[in-house]
Amino acid sequence: MKRSIILLVFIISCLFVTSESISGADFPDGFIFGTASSAYQFEGAVNEGNKGASIWDTFTRQAGRIMDFSNADTAVDQYHRFKSDIELMKDLGMDAYRFSISWSRIFPNGTGKPNPEGIEYYNNLIDALLEKGIQPYVTLYHWDLPQMLEDKYEGWLSRQIVEDFEHYAFTCFKAFGDRVKHWITFNEPHGFTLQGYDTGLQAPGRCSIFRRFFCKKGKSSTEPYIVAHNILLSHAAAYHSYQLNFKGRQGGQIGIALDAKWYEPMTDRDEDKDAASRAMDFEIGWFLEPLFFGKYPLSMKDFVGERLPEILPETSNILVNTLDFLGLNHYTTSYAQHDRTRIWKLILQDASADAAVITTSFRRGVAIGERAASRWLRIVPWGIRKLAGYVKDKYGNPPVIITENGMDDLNSPFMELDKTLQDDKRIRYHRDYLSNLSAAIWQDDCDVRGYFVWSLLDNWEWNAGYTVRFGLYYVDYKNNLTRIPKASVEWFKSILSSKSDL
């Protein structure tokens, strides 16, 4: 009875939550707060521990691929500094740490016998986290495919990748699953599928003749769909392997983390509402509809046609119900408008233009939100609430974890350190996004169970290199990678210290 009264008071208080008053107590009992990272952006030590090369090691050495001509050979050196970084997480009051395993650190050649040094490193990392009361959330694939598999059979373009990914996942479940209870098979498959095989802007850098000055080979109109199909099959293979071999004694859960913008119709016209719906289909529906309903979205079938792989009934049965939870990497929101002319489709003949949607951050000259450092990242806090509601309504309110959320500042050599550390804009960002997430949970009944900040530390940010900073901690790249807390660290400490004890 006492718990029910407390919960009722709590719910009533959440109805009046404002962006000025968010706290950890505005989230349900058991709600998880954490920070997120990836192996390639954090670990460094690319030539240590018998690690093999990945497609990103190769990609960063191609001229013009990275904005500041950097690479992640050292990154922020978490390979050697994980214990002190875990102390930072503990001091923040974080419940969990989401990190990825480097496939080529476990299998330097992509498959075969596992590398004992790689197994030992992740065992030590997991044990150190648990010793501090921090739960490991482990991503199996965060873009760094072993180069040997790319060379051998063109990686994700080959059906052979399904067998090799299952073997890799099985090895990780066996080695770490006694302590890891939350597994994420893939990080942002939509993003790396298009950027790697359509635009060619990310590894392995494949694209069509119309973009040939970027790429040596590829076919932008078909390869993204082949890759995505093999990703879905690989996810399902890993899920079923876990259920068959490990679920009974380990009791863990398997999810996937999707890059998920919210798309707001440019106007109230039906064609723009349909365009926004298609944009969601081509971004998260591409992966969620096969996993929930056993088929690709109808809009994709209509607009892609025969280039979209067929999901046969036996394949549908393999894919459906292979998610215990859904991860959403949400940063920003855009307007969506119907592309009446389809001119980009005619010019580029690529997957990115198939949806017939024009996306923009402006409507009638007014920005949808303030810009962060990256051009793609506009600060639109209400988008996270709309996204959560959309997932609830369309996919039956599955358990959701916000597996990434954050914003970046420019890494300016002219900015004084004290001004850089006073990151009020980041504090406002997280405050307002968390306020909208709390409203989605309590007012809209969305089943959201966790929130992971990207990221604990400033880090190497893919094509942007070291030109932007996402971290709660400033990393001094010119002084032994020293970690220095920004103002957002103290803000998060105060938020997490007020978590509910219900």
Query: Looking at the annotation, which residues are catalytic?
Result: 188, 404
DSSP structure class, residue 310:
P
Report angle CA 359, 364, 368 to the nearest 5 degrees: 55
- Helix or strand or coil: residue 292? helix
Residue ranges of alpha helices (H) inside 177-259 are: 189-197, 223-245, 247-250
CB atoms within 10 A of CB 393: 11
For residues 448-486, one letter each, b for 16 or more C-beta atoms within 10 angstroms of the residue's C-beta and e for the rest, the string is: bbbbbbbbbbbbbbbebbbbbbbbbbbbebeeebebebb
- Strand 135-141 and strand 96-100: the pairing is parallel
Radius of gyration of the chain (CA): 22
Helix (H) or strand (E) holding 415: none
Rounded to 5 degrees, what are φ and ψ at 165? Answer: -65, -40
Within 8 A by CB and 6+ apart from 490, the residues are none
Q: Are 184 and 138 in contact (CB under 8 A)?
A: yes
Distance from first CA to last CA of the chain, Å, rounded?
13
Within 8 A by CB and 6+ apart from 373, the residues are 407, 408, 409, 410, 467, 468, 469
DSSP for 312-376, written as a single string: -HHHHHHHTT--SEEEEE---EEEEEE-SS-HHHHHH-SGGGTT-EEEESEETTEESSEE-SSTT
Query: How many whole angstroms separate alpha carbon 228 and alpha carbon 106?
Result: 24
Token code pair at residue 456: 């604990």
Within 8 A by CB and 6+ apart from 130, the residues are 136, 179
